[in-house]
């Protein structure tokens, strides 16, 4: 019988889901790019714009890698559930976030130090960052509220994720 209460991810590395492992890179890189763009706007230091340019490039690549594993998890969510609907908005929103940052990167490809002539790359990045906050919240809703990708054995005394036997090997307090 299908357990609609939880949905354990099928793609793991050392017992942990891969998608949440990968999302930290694009989130960190893309948000750092926005911060460095704002610092560039405030100071005019072109080195900050160049850092932002390369952080966006790496963040977009990381976002695409995370999307592969996110899509894999999404396909395993049972149809007709709230989790499936939220997962679609989460994933679709993150495709838009990645596209916005890719556009911002392309706009500055000729000149990573795009100011003062063009503020549009910063505006597109800020829009992407704002949307990313929402899609990250949806990801949290999927995991922490709807238990998507949570191990069926999860709990305070769960077995080790590296345990071959699947039997709890944690010493329990007396």
Q: Do 108 and 121 meet the contact criterion of CB atoms below 8 Å apart?
A: yes
Residue spans of the chain under pLDDT 70: 1-10, 164-174
Other residues' Cβ atoms within 10 Å of the Cβ of residue 141: 17
Amino acid 8: pLDDT: 66
Q: Do 46 and 117 meet the contact criterion of CB atoms below 8 Å apart?
A: no
- pTM, whole model, 2 decimals? 0.84
Q: Which residues contact 71 (CB under 8 A, 6 or more apart)?
A: 91
Strand partners, 7: 148
Q: How far apart are CA 148 and CA 139, in angstroms?
A: 9
Amino acid 168: pLDDT: 38
pLDDT in tens, 57-92: 999 999 999 999 999 999 999 999 999 999 999 999
Amino acid 50: pLDDT: 97
C-alpha pair distances (Å), 9 with each of 39, 72, 99, 114, 162? 39, 8, 26, 42, 16
Q: Would you give the DSSP letter of residue 16?
A: E
Q: Which tokens belong to 71?
A: 């899509």
């Amino acid at each position: 019988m299908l357990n609609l209460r939880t949905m354990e991810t099928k793609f793991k590395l050392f017992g942990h889901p891969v998608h949440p492992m990968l999302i930290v890179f694009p989130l960190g890189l893309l948000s750092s790019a926005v911060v460095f763009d704002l610092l560039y706007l405030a100071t005019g230091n072109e080195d900050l714009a160049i850092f932002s340019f390369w952080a966006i490039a790496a963040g977009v690549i990381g976002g695409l890698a995370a999307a592969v594993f996110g899509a894999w998890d999404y396909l395993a969510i049972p149809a007709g559930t709230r989790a499936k609907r939220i997962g679609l908005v989460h994933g679709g929103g993150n495709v838009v976030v990645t596209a916005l940052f890719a556009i911002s990167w392309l706009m500055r490809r000729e000149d990573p130090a795009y100011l003062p002539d063009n503020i549009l790359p910063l505006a597109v990045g800020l829009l992407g960052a704002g949307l990313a906050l929402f899609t990250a919240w949806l990801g949290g809703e999927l995991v922490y509220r709807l238990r998507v990708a949570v191990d069926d054995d999860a709990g305070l005394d769960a077995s080790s994720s590296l345990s071959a036997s699947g039997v709890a090997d944690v010493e329990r307090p007396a």
